[in-house]
Amino acid sequence: MPTMQKSVSVAANSTSSNVVADELHRFIPRGRPIRIACKAAATGIKSTVLQQAPIVQDQDIPFDAANTFPKMSDDVLTSFRSLGGELFVTHRNTTGAAIIVTTKVEWA
């Protein structure tokens, strides 16, 4: 099962670029099950997932001040069957300070 995990710092009042843009497994064949989990170091992050169509748009994600990695059992943002093609995951910071966000993507 390919897994991608990445931490990014999202600047104040801005949106990150595609978090998985430089990952080897970002092009996912049609019909494959995908799970995405996210966790932020503070409140105020909204996440968007796209793959040919919006899957999740501007949803709040859980936070953990200790900035631990997301757990698939607790922090799943979405689970869906791949529409085929490149996966896009972005995070929008709605606060006045930079926040670190960790994203984990698994697909079979």
Answer whether residue 67 shows pLDDT above 80: no
The two tokens of residue 10 are 């999202």
**74 SS3 class:** coil
Strand order in the sheet with 45-50: 54-60, 45-50, 88-93
| Mean pLDDT estimate for the chain | 94
The two tokens of residue 50 are 């796209």
CA–CA gap between residue 73 and residue 62 (Å, rounded): 13
Q: What is the pTM (predicted TM-score) of this model?
A: 0.93
Block residue for tokens 């689970």: 79
pLDDT band at 68 (very low <50, low <70, confident <90, very high): confident
**Percentage of the chain surpassing pLDDT 70?**
100
- pLDDT tens per residue across span 86-103: 999 999 999 999 999 999
